[in-house]
């Protein structure tokens, strides 16, 4: 009896919970790092998971359900984004940071980007070279 309970418990651990993982890597466009924006992981019916792109092109997305995910990459034009401030920016006009790169629109849609990966439990590495 004890053996069969142990076997059932082990089977539940192996088959049961899918778990989650993290995805990290570097996003580049034509060999140059993307310096701002976000990478979004879309997993079936689960809500999207988002990681911000750092100034060196690195990103990290936490708590991504295991399995096949589709990825989207966005780097919105800073000139078209709301300032996010309290309105006390005087007459300052928004500027693009040096090195900002406009990406083709297809990469912003996970269903059209063509970027996928199989996420496993734990840490997953995925560099995203765009062209």
Give the domains, in start order, of the chain with CATH numbers.
Answer: 17-79+96-124 (2.60.40.1120)
The band of 9, judged by pLDDT with boundaries at 50, 70 and 90, is very low
Stretch 115-123: mean pLDDT, rounded? 98
Does the pLDDT value for residue 15 go beyond 60? no
The band of 12, judged by pLDDT with boundaries at 50, 70 and 90, is very low
Helix ranges (H only) for the chain are: 2-15
On average, the pLDDT of the chain sits at 86
| Residue 80 pLDDT | 85
Does the pLDDT value for residue 114 go beyond 90? yes
What percentage of the chain carries pLDDT values higher than 90?
68
pLDDT per residue as tens digits for the range 41-88: 999 888 999 999 999 999 999 999 999 999 999 999 988 877 655 555
Q: CB-based contacts of 47: which residues, under 8 Å, 6+ apart?
A: none
What order do you get walking across the sheet with 38-42 strand by strand?
49-52, 38-42, 67-74, 115-119
| Residue 10 pLDDT | 40
| Rounded Cα–Cα distance for residues 97 and 27 (Å) | 17
How many secondary structure helices (H) and strands (E) does the chain include? 1, 9
């Amino acid at each position: 009896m004890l053996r069969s309970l142990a076997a059932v418990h082990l089977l539940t651990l192996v088959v049961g919970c899918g778990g989650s993982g993290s995805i990290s890597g570097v996003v580049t466009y034509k060999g140059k790092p993307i310096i701002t924006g976000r990478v979004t992981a879309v997993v079936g019916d689960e809500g999207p998971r988002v990681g911000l792109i750092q100034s060196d092109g690195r990103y990290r997305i936490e708590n991504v359900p295991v399995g096949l995910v589709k990825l989207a990459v966005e780097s919105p034009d800073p000139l078209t984004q709301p300032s996010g401030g309290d309105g006390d920016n005087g007459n300052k006009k928004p500027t693009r940071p040096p090195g900002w790169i406009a990406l083709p629109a297809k990469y912003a849609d996970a269903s059209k980007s063509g970027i996928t990966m199989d996420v496993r439990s734990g840490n997953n590495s995925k560099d995203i070279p765009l062209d």
